[in-house]
Amino acid sequence: MTARRLALFDVDGTLVDSQAHIAGAMAAAFAAEGLPLPPPHEVLGVVGLSLPLALAALAPDASAERLDRMVEAYRQQFFALRVGQAASPLFPGAREALALLAGVEGLELGIATGKSRRGLDAILKAHGLAGQFATRQVSDDHPSKPHPSMVLAALAETGVAPDRAVMIGDTEFDMEMGRAAGVRTLAVAWGYHPADRLGAADAVVERFADLPAAVLALVGETA
């Protein structure tokens, strides 16, 4: 009998290239308050945190009231971009890798993302992936990464043991979250954090074509 296993994916920078939408929404948030926009590497460096924490990191001197307004401006602009433009694209090879993993006996797929439920539902629907994931953990229901709450909830929901699960993401926050929850960690090199911030990962993959084999190696192919 094959033990149940779990491959838990981040979304932005891992499955989906949302850089253009993130940059546009962040520009709107700072412009709304007349603040200079931080350089792109700083904006991408906070991807993975919840939106309030990300904005607080980028604008550390802003008051709580100003940050609240920036959060709302970001959300409004991100929604406008999502409605007015095509959905953020999947990274090349993502769909094929997900399909391959979905066919592995005893392996569940899940999501742990800093996106809101509305945002996640929209992107999954746009790409025809709404039925692909057994568990979907979002920022509405949990503390920000790297708190392990999302991973722990996914394990509880699927009944998978930590040593049979892997967190897959592109940021150090994903890696820290996975390690805090006691699961294996797999970093992807095509996302928003540079390699020197992914050193805590159990493994790193450079191409989506290599991801399925890396996932199975980390969670164990047999009981």
pLDDT in tens, 61-79: 999 999 999 999 999 998 8
Highest mean pLDDT, choosing among 1-10, 102-111, 112-121: 102-111
Q: What is the pLDDT of residue 83?
A: 73
Do residues 195 and 157 both lie within one domain?
Answer: yes
For the chain, the domain total comes to 2
pLDDT at 48 over 90: no
Do residues 77 and 153 both lie within one domain?
Answer: no
Q: What is the pLDDT of residue 2?
A: 63
Q: What is the pLDDT of residue 84?
A: 61
Do residues 27 and 126 both lie within one domain?
Answer: no
Residues 68 and 94: beta-carbon distance below 8 Å = no
pLDDT at 23 over 50: yes
Do residues 96 and 70 both lie within one domain?
Answer: no
Residue indicated by tokens 């792109």? 40
We report the CATH number of the domain holding residue 76 as: 1.10.150.240
Write out the two tokens for 1.
């009998």
Distance CA 140, CA 118 (A): 9
Which position among 10, 17, 170, 174 bears the catalytic label?
10
Q: What is the pLDDT of residue 32?
A: 96
Q: What is the pLDDT of residue 55?
A: 97
Do residues 166 and 213 both lie within one domain?
Answer: yes
The better pLDDT of the pair 130, 188 is held by 188
Banded pLDDT at 80 (limits 50, 70, 90): confident
Last residue of a domain, one of 84, 99, 125: 84
Write out the two tokens for 110.
């899940």
Looking at 127-200, list the stretches that DSSP marks H as alpha helix, in order from N- to C-terminal side: 149-158, 172-181
Is 10 among the residues known to form the active site?
yes
Report CA-CA distances (Å) from 221 to 41, 111, 190, 209.
38, 21, 26, 18
**pTM listed for this prediction:** 0.91
Distance CA 210, CA 204 (A): 10
pLDDT at 222 over 70: no
3 state SS of 45: helix
Do residues 207 and 128 both lie within one domain?
Answer: yes
Distance CA 222, CA 214 (A): 14
- Preceding peptide of 36 cis, ω within 30°: no
Mean pLDDT over each residue of the chain, to the nearest integer: 94
Banded pLDDT at 33 (limits 50, 70, 90): very high
Q: State the residue range of the domain holding 13.
A: 5-17+89-219
Last residue of a domain, one of 68, 84, 100: 84
User: If you average pLDDT over residues 94-101, what whole number do you get?
Assistant: 97
Do residues 96 and 200 both lie within one domain?
Answer: yes
Banded pLDDT at 87 (limits 50, 70, 90): confident
Last residue of a domain, one of 47, 64, 84: 84
Q: What is the pLDDT of residue 223?
A: 40
Q: Phi and psi (nearest 5°) for 132?
A: -85, -20
Q: Phi and psi (nearest 5°) for 166?
A: -140, 135
Which position among 12, 17, 170, 174 bears the catalytic label?
12
